Amino acid sequence: MLQLFSEHILSKLSFLKNARLVVAISGGIDSVVLAHLCKKLGFDFALAHCNFSLRGDESDADEEFVIKLGEDINVEVFSQRFNTEAYAKENKRSIQMAARELRYDWFKDLAAQLGFDYVLTAHHADDNLETFLINFTRGTGLNGLTGIPMINDNIVRPLLPFSREVIEAFARENNIEWRDDSSNSSRKYLRNKLRHEVVPILKEINPQLLDSFESTLDNLNDTADIVEESLNAVAKRAIVEINENGITYKVSEFKKVNNSRAYLFEMFKEFGFTEWNDVVKLLDAETGKYVQSHTHKLTKHRDMLILTNASHSVPNPRDVSESYLINDLNSTEFSIGTLSFEMVSESSNNTGSSIYINKDKLVFPLELRLWKAGDVFCPIGMTGKKKVSKYLKDEKLTPYQKVNTWVLLSEEKIVWVIGHRADERFKVTDSTSNFLKIEILTTKH
Amino acid sequence: MLQLFSEHILSKLSFLKNARLVVAISGGIDSVVLAHLCKKLGFDFALAHCNFSLRGDESDADEEFVIKLGEDINVEVFSQRFNTEAYAKENKRSIQMAARELRYDWFKDLAAQLGFDYVLTAHHADDNLETFLINFTRGTGLNGLTGIPMINDNIVRPLLPFSREVIEAFARENNIEWRDDSSNSSRKYLRNKLRHEVVPILKEINPQLLDSFESTLDNLNDTADIVEESLNAVAKRAIVEINENGITYKVSEFKKVNNSRAYLFEMFKEFGFTEWNDVVKLLDAETGKYVQSHTHKLTKHRDMLILTNASHSVPNPRDVSESYLINDLNSTEFSIGTLSFEMVSESSNNTGSSIYINKDKLVFPLELRLWKAGDVFCPIGMTGKKKVSKYLKDEKLTPYQKVNTWVLLSEEKIVWVIGHRADERFKVTDSTSNFLKIEILTTKH
């Protein structure tokens, strides 16, 4: 049984072997099995437990269980209490959403502060199938049907290909103890209904259901990549101008495609529009006609569509092909803000708005420009190269954020995907002697 | 109840009002309700019944029932017997596939020979949902999740938005009689399991399941259009040469995209390849390396991939931008065959390889070229214009057939999507006096 897991993990996720890991653990069977598995595989890991304080004594008992487990298997435990209800109220989230945000934010902090490379979670194939069915039952689109990713940035899910059945068998075989979660939230109710009433019938129809499901997800993820590519391509061709107030699009590019509505929807859905028939009609409307959402306005102007914040007037055009050459460490102003440089005596953590690099790796002049198709970089903390397009997709940026993402380059190598991720090749190491802090101050709008 | 149906049909499918229709009828509740509905709406229609001879006396009783129904509602009935088992054996089809092919082929013939504009079938929302779940359970891709189309060329499904429940209520309200199909084929067994055991639970979770499902399908169909667009765009950029033996692709175009494997799969799946890792590796392989399927061979040659029939050697290149001007009615040879013209004394039915048009509508020189993005035509027998790209997609042509589709034009108006569909604007009418037959003799390979 151990072999089944270890073969998968050591072949598909071999990078976990030499990394520092933190295992997200609730005390339930899945995460407890994952912890034991990491122990058996000799991984370098700690446990991280969130106490969401939602089930009183039971929550506390879960926490104690995890601390005890850490002692038993001789692994460090980090535990954090959250006032989930207060957070949910304050931020207008559902309890489930609030817990999710709190959990992932804390994991990210923990990983950054304590130098962990990856956070492991215990999602498995049945979780994935249930999520698919929940989304489908509620009504969704392709994005709701592509499943949970096995690797998403520094979150890794080693149990994703395995069924609940196999995990339970492993727990029995190894006399593993765990805590059952007695909560009966509506989300659990839904999952239980699907788990006990729907999935067994589907498995009766197709005993290889989980394998078929895995290949369906592979296919749909490939399709999602193609869609992403197409949206980026059409956006690149359609967008002629971006400035601080908005974006200008060529109408002709939306007319060339075989389904204008599909592209308009994907491109503008994030701006709160709901009247898609009206948006489609704009393509043939007179100059001055517009469609408005709560936050944005899409205006027909000659053969262009101009997207503005609802409160702004039509912006002045700016060329998207603009590019700046940076010859020295003076600040550079550009359309989204100011890029500044500062020699500092020591390095600190990178944030969304500032990074620390080894100044000696830079070759001037640097180039500052919008990212473009084909751009590749080495995301710091990860092995290997990644296409910027793929990175921005995985980060789930909105189309607006995507087209408005800038990169800083030295000798055509990306130093920083600005506001998002530094590059491994310029990072500070033990032998670095000249520390350069680069910061972006974005223009508020 | 009638109003519910008629509102939908008269608003979304208003073109049915002035058309000659044929209703495909089995004798089951759905198609019988559809027939009664057409009667109540005053449509001009006939009934067409297939007797697949699969259930002996029962099949014959179904046929008699339909003939009797035709008499009762005073509508012409066409009935056709098939030896489905013999056909399935001969053509190596499942019984279900065989029945499907026989049915649709016969409907198409009937429509063409007797001048019917549309064939109506009685598929409804629950059929659509069950098909989705069957495909999902077996494992599928986006194509298996986009549902049954409401309009597909001349096949129209007026009941598609309605649930089985509503159709049953209409039958009760109008004292409609029908025949129950007692067959218990494996397909029916599957459907019944989903219908009685899975769907009710999903409807319990979401009482608006069918509405949610409809919007999910709309979303997925929009996504499918975007995918189609992207595949066409990459194919157009990648393909540099087509000739009678095969197709030459630029490797660089497959490397530019964010998921090479996804595009390679979509572009080459129809040629029988199965070793997709090897296909991906070809992108970086030396000249001369190849991957082979039973029917085809994909060879790396410098910075190109060359697809050939397995038995052929690498073809000579030919320019895809070639175009011929046709000044008179002499035959024209081009890469896929010979186009010939003949003045005839009377018109006949169009086929895949020949069409009849009104010669007086032509303005010479005609142009003969591959179709291109943005091409639009008026498919004969239909109202309105259609993009050629959309038409080829709806016809479910393979990518190879798609890139190799030629069009004949007069004054930039398409006369014929060669081998597929003539244009309404050039068709023979009662007032036509000069009949021109245009024929394509394709080169065998």
Can you list the domains of chain B with their CATH numbers? 2-205 (3.40.50.620), 237-309 (3.30.465.60), 323-442 (3.50.40.10)
SS3 content of chain B, % helix, strand, coil (to 5): 45, 25, 35
Q: Which pLDDT tens digit goes with each residue over A309-349?
A: 876 544 333 355 668 888 888 888 887 788 999 999 988 88
Between A and B, how many residue pairs show a Cβ–Cβ distance under 8 A? 135
Secondary structure (3-state) at B348: coil
Structure tokens at A141: 């689109």
Q: What pLDDT is recorded for position A398?
A: 64
**Which chain A positions have a beta carbon within 8 Å of B374's beta carbon?**
256
A138 shares contact with chain B (CB less than 8 Å): yes
Considering only residues 72 to 131 of chain B, which have any Cβ-Cβ distance to chain A shorter than 8 Å?
none
Nearest to A445 by CA among A298, A310, A300, A265: A310
Strands B296-301 and B304-309 come out as antiparallel
**Is there a binding annotation on residue A30?**
yes
Residue A81 has pLDDT above 60, yes or no: yes
Structure tokens at B128: 């659509």
DSSP class of residue B357 equals E
**Which chain B positions have a beta carbon within 8 Å of A141's beta carbon?**
216, 219-220, 223
Q: Which residues contact B338 (CB under 8 A, 6 or more apart)?
A: B331, B332, B440, B441
Q: Return mean pLDDT, chain A.
A: 88
Mark yes or no for CB contact B230/A225 under 8 Å.
no
d(CA B331, CA B368): 12
Distance from CA of B329 to the nearest CA of A (A): 34
Residue A274 has pLDDT above 90, yes or no: no
Which residues lie across from A339 on neighbouring strands? Answer: A332, A440
Q: What pLDDT is recorded for position B445?
A: 43
Q: How many degrees, rounded to 5, is the angle at CA B14 between CA B10 and CA B19? A: 125
Is A153 in contact with A395 (CB distance < 8 Å)? Answer: yes
For A202, which residue in chain B has the nearest alpha carbon?
Answer: B137
Amino acid of residue A12? K
pLDDT tier at A441, thresholds 50, 70, 90: confident
**Which chain B positions have a beta carbon within 8 Å of A219's beta carbon?**
140-142
**Which chain B positions have a beta carbon within 8 Å of A146's beta carbon?**
none
ipTM over 0.90: no
Is A421 in contact with A326 (CB distance < 8 Å)? Answer: no
d(CA A240, CA A210): 46
Distance from CA of B384 to the nearest CA of A (A): 15
Is B154 in contact with B381 (CB distance < 8 Å)? Answer: yes
Mark yes or no for CB contact B141/A373 under 8 Å.
no
Q: How many degrees, rounded to 5, is the angle at CA B378 between CA B372 and CA B384? A: 120
Q: What is the mean pLDDT of residues A70-98?
A: 91
Considering only residues 309 to 348 of chain B, which have any Cβ-Cβ distance to chain A shorter than 8 Å?
none
A227 shares contact with chain B (CB less than 8 Å): yes
Residue A25 has pLDDT above 50, yes or no: yes
Residue A120 has pLDDT above 90, yes or no: yes
Mark yes or no for CB contact A205/B266 under 8 Å.
no
Mark yes or no for CB contact B262/A216 under 8 Å.
no
Considering only residues 276 to 305 of chain A, which have any Cβ-Cβ distance to chain B shorter than 8 Å?
none
Structure tokens at A207: 């005993």
Question: How many Cα atoms are found within 13 Å in the side-chain-facing hemisphere of B283?
Answer: 18
Structure tokens at B243: 């000739």
d(CA A134, CA A128): 10
Structure tokens at A236: 């690149």
Residues of chain B with pLDDT under 50: 313-319, 444-445
A209 shares contact with chain B (CB less than 8 Å): yes
A222 shares contact with chain B (CB less than 8 Å): yes
Question: Which of A137, A142, A374 is the closest to B209 by Cβ?
Answer: A137
Question: How many Cα atoms are found within 13 Å in the side-chain-facing hemisphere of A427?
Answer: 16
